[in-house]
Amino acid sequence: QPEHSEVTICAYCGVGCAFKAEMRGEEIVRMVPWKDGKANHGHSCIKGRFAYGYATHPDRILKPMIREEITDPWSEVSWKEAISFTARRFKEIQAKYGVRSVGAITSSRCTNEENYLVQKLVRSGFGNNNVDTCARVCHSPTGYGLHQAFGTSAGTQDFDSVDDADVILVIGANPTDAHPVFGSRMKARLRQGARLIVIDPRRIDLVRSPHVRADYHLSLKPGTNVAMVTALAHVIVTEGLANERFVRERCDWDEFQDWAAFVSEERNSPEATEQFTGVPAADVRAAARLYATGGNGAIYYGLGVTEHSQGSTTVMAIANLAMVTGNLGRRGVGINPLRGQNNVQGSCDMGSFPHELPGYQHISSDKTRTAFEAEWGVDLDKEPGLRIPNMFDAAIDGVFKGLYVQGEDILQSDPDTKHVSASLAAMELIVVQDLFLVETANYAHVFLPGATFLEKDGTFTNAERRIQRVRKVMSPKNGYGDWEITQMIANAMSLGWTYSHSSEIMDEVARLTPRFANVSYDKLDKDGSVQWPCNDATPDGVPIMHVNGFMRGKGKFVITEYVPSDEKTGPRFPLLLTTGRILSQYNAGAQTRRTENSLWHEEDVLEIHPHDAEDRGVRDGDRVRVQSRAGETTLHAKVTDRVAPGVVYMTFHHPMTQANVVTTDNSDWATNCPEYKVTAVQVSPATGP
């Protein structure tokens, strides 16, 4: 029987389900989905409910370790020695190679407070802006695209809003696997009669599952989202389905007219773009009419939108679609990026970008810098720093030499593994703060044992901008929470930080960040959660954004020209590979593979259409070789018509597969988000084990 319990938040996906952790001493008896959780209303999936065993897994590293060279064996040392080694080596590298030769990567798995302190360490301790977040490789195009259109980069709705949607458009997302609790909520609305349009190369569960059928599944070729969304807009504008009243009142009319002329061009019609998308024009026309005329239209999207060379363009095309139909500013509509990790929103909010301080305040603004300089007592560099891919390139060029990585396995998660490993090998100091000896730790000189979400206090911000309290339910097995470790490094660099509880960090965030001005632990404990912006103007937060106007003033229509990906199929690489997640597993799998969830998915698989399999002599369950221009891997094949002919699909949870050995270093033009979703490959039967 449990002896005590504490309410905390799941540390997997961006839904942000609340759980009551029922404890006996330091042992979890069970995780009970909390009925008062405002994101989950008492529901959960198999990750949050069962996949917590990694916290006590024997693979956890609990003692700090250092080594001079990555070929040396690790030596266990005291915290004091590890921290002083780290601070000394960073200082030596900066003395030798310059102030901008080091940086850090924050984690969307960590709390807001932890993210805040890492970027503060970089800016006030390292003296530069070389800080980036793992959101770089997932939703950075959301940040750019929605900011262009509306003046802020967040999703527009709360999850409850879907209950008022009449037409649900899902593009590049697989909610039943990747955001299961919200996926179920969406299904419930569909069972009540809402209509469904799915735009995805793969027949995801929503397309055809018990009691739910998509009205239209636009199974487009990977890499053609912009052509598809622009074709939908073409139909809406040329068939007179635009909501002109909304556009005149809420958007820049001149920009709208330029955009309307652009989308009306024949080359953007469903008939003309069919050659790129592969989707019958009649289906595109019918889906466009349904979205424009079917009542409240709500768009939900995921990494199938962002992880493309035109990821930011697609986000802006989606914003155009919502504005032209007036589907913004009330319940049941909107644009809702489904965030992959638990705290993607928060890591971005907390200033983990090389050009922005917390609250998306640009580093070049004298007024902003002055406010932070007064609070932090240091002068700040006004030049934006390096993004993650730029750090890798600078390491290869010999000018970036030291990296602090908190809670992110960049070697497994980032594209073009060969390039990443060469970059890591070229650095002189890599500090990994994590739970396990993840793949990146093979290149590390310092390993600082991190804490699980069960061992820390703080806050996460979910996909609907909901800030929720994470509460410590067991003592940190390593001795410290992650923010305390960052504080120790800062103080070894003479910064004199004196935080005694994570609430004090949030108080500082509130002082410096207008959209968090009224956020405090007291408020969160009293109200349960709050959706930012939360300040004097909106003290109880904002469930639905842009009700009376956009944050930037008038909504901005952006011309979204389709540019085909550089990644092209041909005789050597005739298939297009796209990648994704499966229900029981989570990202690089460092946590879920160390739980009983692994029983459901012991290895990655490659889905291949029966025609493509037959052409290659591949049978279901055969081991196959997947080759691309970047590299090759082997795994077992699953023959299925879930994927269209010419398309293959691979999960990416297991290090022995190393899915990113085959993905290329192509990236989004605006944000460098990798193009994980489009890789030309060949598949052939594998020989050997």
Give residues in contact with ligand SF4 (CB under 6 A).
Answer: 10, 12-13, 15-17, 40, 44-45, 47-48, 179-181
Measured CA to CA in angstroms, residue 551 lies from 262, 293, 300, 566 at distances of: 25, 27, 21, 35
Structure-token match 């986000």, residue found: 315
Strand partners, 27: 24
Minimum CB distance to ligand SF4 smaller for 219 or for 341: 341
The CB-of-10 to ligand SF4 minimum distance in angstroms stands at: 3
Tokens (6 digits) for 326: 């007036």
User: In the complex, what is the shortest distance from the CB of residue 108 to ligand SF4, in angstroms, rounded to a whole number?
Assistant: 13
- Cβ atoms < 10 Å from Cβ of 55: 21
Write the CA distances from 499 to 83, 122, 341, 439, 644, integer angstroms. 17, 17, 27, 32, 54
Beta strand pairing call for 4-9 and 18-24: antiparallel
Least separation, in Å, of the C-beta of 555 and ligand SF4?
31
**Alpha-carbon span 489 to 376, nearest angstrom:** 16
The per-residue DSSP string of 371-439 comes to HHHHHHTS----S----HHHHHHHHHTT---EEEEES--HHHHSS-HHHHHHHHHH-SEEEEEESS--G
Is the CB of 13 or the CB of 328 nearer to ligand SF4? 13
For the bound state, the minimum distance from the C-beta of residue 19 to ligand SF4, rounded and expressed in Å, comes to 8
In the complex, least distance from residue 11 CB atom to ligand SF4, rounded to whole angstroms: 8
Question: What is the rounded CA–CA span in Å between residue 161 and residue 119?
Answer: 34
C-beta of 523: minimal distance to ligand SF4 in Å? 22
Nearer to ligand SF4, 74 or 159 (CB): 159
Which pair of structure tokens corresponds to residue 357?
Answer: 């301080």
Nearer to ligand SF4, 33 or 449 (CB): 33
Q: Is the CB of residue 589 less than 8 Å from the CB of residue 653? A: yes
Distance of CA 337 to the CA centre of its chain: 9
Q: Which is nearer to ligand SF4, 228 or 463 (CB)?
A: 463
Shortest distance (Å) from residue 50 CB to ligand SF4: 9
Q: Which is nearer to ligand SF4, 48 or 332 (CB)?
A: 48
Residue 513 Cβ, how far from ligand SF4 at the closest point, in Å? 25
In three-state secondary structure terms, 471 is coil
Q: Least distance from C-beta 9 to ligand SF4, angstroms? A: 8
Helices within 162-243 (DSSP H only)? 175-178, 180-191, 225-238
Specify the residue, 546 or 581, whose C-beta has the smaller distance to ligand SF4.
581
Residue closer to ligand SF4 by CB (options 48, 222) is 48
For the chain, give percent helix, strand, coil, nearest 5.
Answer: 35, 20, 45
What Rg value do the Cα atoms of the chain yield, rounded? Answer: 24
Neighbours of 577 (CB within 10 A): 26
Q: Which is nearer to ligand SF4, 10 or 673 (CB)?
A: 10
- Nearest CB to ligand SF4, comparing residues 308 and 581: 581
The residue sitting closest to ligand SF4, measured at its beta carbon, is 48
Shortest Å, Cβ 105 to ligand SF4: 23
Nearer to ligand SF4, 10 or 21 (CB): 10
- Closest alpha carbon to 663 in 157, 260, 308, 261: 308
**CB distance 404 to 489 below 8 Å:** yes
* Residue pair 335/4 in contact by the 8 Å Cβ criterion: no
Min. distance of Cβ 599 from ligand SF4 in angstroms?
17
- Are the C-beta atoms of residues 387 and 672 closer than 8 Å to each other? yes
Question: Residue 261 is encoded by which pair of tokens?
Answer: 């002329």
Cα–chain center distance at 588: 13
Q: How far is the CB of 372 from ligand SF4 (least distance, A)?
A: 32
Q: Among residues 44 and 628, whose Cβ is nearest to ligand SF4?
A: 44
Residue 299 in contact with residue 320, Cβ under 8 Å?
no
